[in-house]
Amino acid sequence: MSEHITYNFDQVIDRRHDRWSYSEKWSDSAETAEHCGVPAIADDHIALFTADMDFRCAQPILDALHATVDHGIFGYSGLAGNTRYYDALRAWFARRDGWDIDTDLVSYSPGTVLALNICVHAFTKPGDAIIIQRPVYPPFTSAVEGNDRVVLDNHLVRHTADDEQGDLYYTMDFDQLEELAARDDARMLILCNPHNPVGRAWTAEELARVADICTAHDVLIVADEIHGDLMAPGYRMVHLAQAAPKARVVTCTATNKTFNLAGLPATNMVFSNAADKARFEEVRGYAEPSPFAISAAIAAYEDGEDWLAQCLAYIQGNIDAVIGYFAEHLPDVGVRAPEGTYILWFDFTERCRKLGIDGAELHRRIYEDARVLLQDGTNFDPQGGEFFQRMVVPSPRSMLLDACERIARALS
Ligand SMILES: Cc1ncc(COP(=O)(O)O)c(C=O)c1O
């Protein structure tokens, strides 16, 4: 175990100009602008649109990466026979979530979005229908439509202030899920748990119900659970594979979101049977993580918990600060603390109604007047997302509060 270090999450690190950063989030490239749905990105834009932390990495991970650099040889690398990696992975989920993984059923993917696309190819054919639950992380839609499959939207149910659960609480429409899963062409459900962007961490009961419906109709569940380590105080992650141990499910987990290692991808695909793992690998082809990804992941799983605990406490402070700011300065904007993820999902409907503006003008004001880059709600929900914006908050608090002030000015 590494020694205790107190990390400074308030530190602002320049990721936009530093020669060695290579950050996509802080890039001013045309591609990043297009990703944000804006014409161009300038030096004074605050980037809060993508699920990426602005914090310095955990020291044990940095130490492991330095040691890997010092080794000096970077030829083909791989996980075969790497018991240390698999032991660390297994111990992580057993310790934190009480989830017992059979590591013989784990496979590697160089990224989760890629893994979703591989699963679509491996387990469905063109023209098949795939269920997703909007509003949802946009690459779910592209993994389906970009591969000539058809989206079935089992739209989440949004609750309001009059409901017991309170405003912006989302639940699943199980009757509709049953109807969609019963269709002859329905082959797969891509589940997001905890859910990006609405922040629900699905309960064991909800997950068991999803699994029952999908099992009854032979619909494969692909559970993207890569935000599963980012739980709010008082919530515990339940994996679908835990809630429904007999279900046919492919679970995606990673150090990516937990430790901000998206640049060193190592998604763990946890299968419920050997045949699905073999099929996945057949379609994926040869792929192994880099020595840096392996080093970083082992250090994260073995020695990263101290950093993570501090990071989660800081993020919770950010969530409270942003929600508090909006409650005081823009009280008609809807937002609630997530149960899991570091994502805030804002409803600007009432504010826009009062200002007499549409969603496009809302987006323009935030981007052009406030000079803040959020992600437009239409990306998550093409039909109902017009007045929604997503903000990702693992950044120094000063940066977030600056963004909040700018947004309040632009919308007052
Ligand atoms: C739900 C979800 N899945 C996948 C990803 C991307 O994962 P990867 O970088 O491993 O492709 C993200 C990133 O924001 C996400 O929120």
The CATH class of 30-58+306-410 is: alpha beta
Ligand 1 close to Cβ of residue 116 (< 6 A): no
Ligand 1 mutation target, pool 35, 196, 380, most atoms within 8 A of CB? 196
pLDDT for position 3: 79
Q: Please state, in angstroms and rounded to a whole number, the distance separating the CA atoms of residues 406 and 412.
A: 10
CATH: 3.40.640.10, 3.30.70.20, 3.30.1370.100, 3.40.50.1820. Which one for 75-303? 3.40.640.10
In ligand 1, which atom is closest to the CA atom of 265? 10
pTM, two decimal places = 0.97
Instruction: Give me the sign of the Cα torsion angle 192, 195, 196, 197.
Output: positive
CA distances from 90 to 46, 76, 94, 105, 106 (A): 38, 24, 6, 11, 10
Radius of gyration of the chain (CA): 21
For the stretch 278-337, pLDDT in tens is 999 999 999 999 999 999 999 999 999 999 999 999 999 999 999 999 999 999 999 999
Instruction: Please state, in angstroms and rounded to a whole number, the distance separating the CA atoms of residues 225 and 223.
Output: 6
User: How many CB atoms within 10 Å of residue 15?
Assistant: 17
Reported confidence tier of residue 395, pLDDT bands at 50, 70, 90: very high
* The ligand 1 atom nearest the CA atom of 51: 14
Cα dihedral 335→336→341→345 (10° resolution) = -20
Asked if residue 1 has pLDDT above 60, the reply is: no
Greatest alpha-carbon pair distance for the chain in Å reads: 62
Pair of tokens at residue 162: 């009059």
Q: Where are the domains of the chain?
A: 30-58+306-410, 75-303
pLDDT of amino acid 32? 93
**Residue 263 CA: distances (Å) to CA of 22, 132, 231, 259, 260:** 9, 26, 22, 11, 8
Q: Is 154 touching ligand 1 by the criterion CB < 6 Å?
A: no
What proportion of the chain, given as a percentage, has pLDDT over 70? 100
Structure-token pair, residue 368: 């052009």
Q: How remote is the CA of residue 114 from the centroid of ligand 1, in Å?
A: 9
Atom of ligand 1 nearest to the CA of 113: 11
* 289 three-state secondary structure: coil
Is the distance from CB of 200 to CB of 170 less than 8 angstroms?
A: yes
Q: Which phi and psi (to 5°) does residue 331 adopt?
A: -65, -15
In this predicted model, what pLDDT tens digit does every residue of 87-127 receive, in sequence order? 999 999 999 999 999 999 999 999 999 999 999 999 999 99
Secondary structure element (H or E) that encloses residue 113, with its range:
helix 112-123
Query: What separation in angstroms does the CA of 394 have from each of 115, 192, 299?
Result: 25, 20, 21
> Which of 223, 130, 145, 143 is closest to 177 using CA atoms?
130
Residue pLDDT, tens place only, 159-206: 999 999 999 999 999 999 999 999 999 999 999 999 999 999 999 999
Burial 91-109 (b: 16+ CB within 10 A, else e): ebbeebbebebeeebbbbb
> What 3-state DSSP class applies to 192?
strand
Query: Ligand 1 within 6 A of 254 CB?
Result: yes
d(CA 62, CA 64): 5
Please work out whether the CB of residue 112 comes within 6 Å of at least one atom of ligand 1. Answer: yes
- Closest by CA to 284, choosing from 241, 252, 260, is 252
Contacts of 70 (CB under 8 A, 6+ apart): none
Q: How much distance in Å is there from the Cα of 193 to the middle of ligand 1? A: 12
- Kindly state the average pLDDT of the residues 271-277: 98
Alpha-helical (H) ranges within 304-387 are 305-329, 349-355, 359-364
Q: Which residues pair with 388 in a beta bridge?
A: 347
What mean pLDDT is reported for the chain?
97
On whether the CB atoms of residues 336 and 161 are closer than 8 A, the answer is no
The 3-state DSSP class for residue 89 equals helix
Q: Is the pLDDT of residue 132 over 70?
A: yes
Q: Does residue 143 have its Cβ closer than 6 Å to ligand 1?
A: no
What pLDDT is recorded for position 267? 98
The terminus-to-terminus CA distance of the chain in angstroms comes to 50
d(CA 190, ligand 1 centre) in Å = 13
253 alpha carbon to ligand 1 midpoint, in Å? 10
| Residue 113 CA to ligand 1 centre (angstroms) | 6
As a whole number of angstroms, the distance between CA 26 and CA 41 comes to 9
In the block, tokens 């792929």 appear at: 287
3-state secondary structure of 407: helix
